[in-house]
Structure 1
């Protein structure tokens, strides 16, 4: 399906040059595409969502930079991103956590998944939880700032990205993440 797209000219931004794992509507791998093509044609794909929690039960909220192609300046309730072509979800989660927040060497706890299909996005999301109280090293191209909030308070913030809102709601509804006291 996407092999024909391989001959299209490469997009210029570096991030748009990433090859993304495409899946069908049942989450079965069916090829790959450049990130820009995946966005333009609204292909189904996989993404990771890593909710970072501190010892007080608060979660790390990230403000996206204004240069992000999707939801610039919005708030993310999870670290994460799209899964690269041929990449396993847990490896993509580790990579994204290290890139965005500088968190390395901590155990990732798989926490299920969800389907996000709204606003032209078609995502099979893989959820992970991480406990972290150490320092953060923010990726300047993607993360403008971070702050910590109890989960219920984070959900009520204006400007939260729809997919990370859904990710946090799933964790709370399934009891895998407790609301902070």
Structure 2
């Protein structure tokens, strides 16, 4: 499936203008689509999940803005987002971390992968860890607020997005983060 829906008109919202890397059910690249088409047709795609933790072992939790197309006002336990067409996962992770939280120039620690297939989402997730305790610059269009809490407390919060819950749980299960500090 090369360049799926190439002839569809360009979507109007800025975020929907992104070309997304599509993959098959085995995570092999198979073309691209506009973000809106990827959501509408529930295509398999790649996304990055960067769990930001501080020296105290707390993670950065983001409240999504009410204008987000998916889970408006929900809580994300990781920064991140979809991988653009032809973009490498680690570069997408760096881009998303800089866009959403203003974090630049810190080492990204690759932390594995997981598959999220529920609620119409079909995602191959790439996990990363970042230790960071500095100032944040929130992306006003996507992040309404942030707060810090232990991973165990974060998993208990109401309104957590299912994919970031799964990402954090995968890190805990792998022993890459501790539930409490």
Q: State the TM-score, normalized to the length of structure 2.
A: 0.99
- SS state of the match for residue 50, structure 2? strand
Counterparts of 2:82 and 2:170 in 1: how far apart (Å)? 19
Checking the alignment, whether the CA contact within 8 Å between 1:76 and 1:164 is kept in structure 2 is yes
Following superposition, the deviation at residue 179 of structure 1 comes to 1.9
1:137 equivalent in alignment to 2:137: yes
Partner of 1:66: 66
1:177 equivalent in alignment to 2:177: yes
Checking the alignment, whether the CA contact within 8 Å between 1:101 and 1:137 is kept in structure 2 is yes
Partner of 1:32: 32
- Tell me the alpha carbon deviations over residues 44-89 of structure 1, each in whole angstroms, 9 at most, x when there is no partner: 0000000000111000000000000000000000000000000000
Partner of 1:51: 51
Counterparts of 1:84 and 1:50 in 2: how far apart (Å)? 16
Partner of 2:161: 161
Counterparts of 1:4 and 1:130 in 2: how far apart (Å)? 34
- Tell me the alpha carbon deviations over residues 124-148 of structure 1, each in whole angstroms, 9 at most, x when there is no partner: 0000000000000000000000000
Counterparts of 2:159 and 2:27 in 1: how far apart (Å)? 28
- SS state of the match for residue 6, structure 1? coil
Count of residues paired in the alignment: 181
Checking the alignment, whether the CA contact within 8 Å between 1:56 and 1:180 is kept in structure 2 is no
- Tell me the alpha carbon deviations over residues 1-29 of structure 1, each in whole angstroms, 9 at most, x when there is no partner: 25351111111001000000000000000
* Counterparts in 2 of 1:130 and 1:4: CA distance versus 1, 3 Å: closer
Moved over 3 A (4+): none
- SS state of the match for residue 146, structure 1? strand
Runs of at least 5 residues in structure 2 that lack an aligned partner in the other structure: none
Partner of 1:148: 148
Cα root mean square deviation, aligned: 0.7
Q: State the TM-score, normalized to the length of structure 1.
A: 0.99
Partner of 2:14: 14
- SS state of the match for residue 3, structure 1? coil
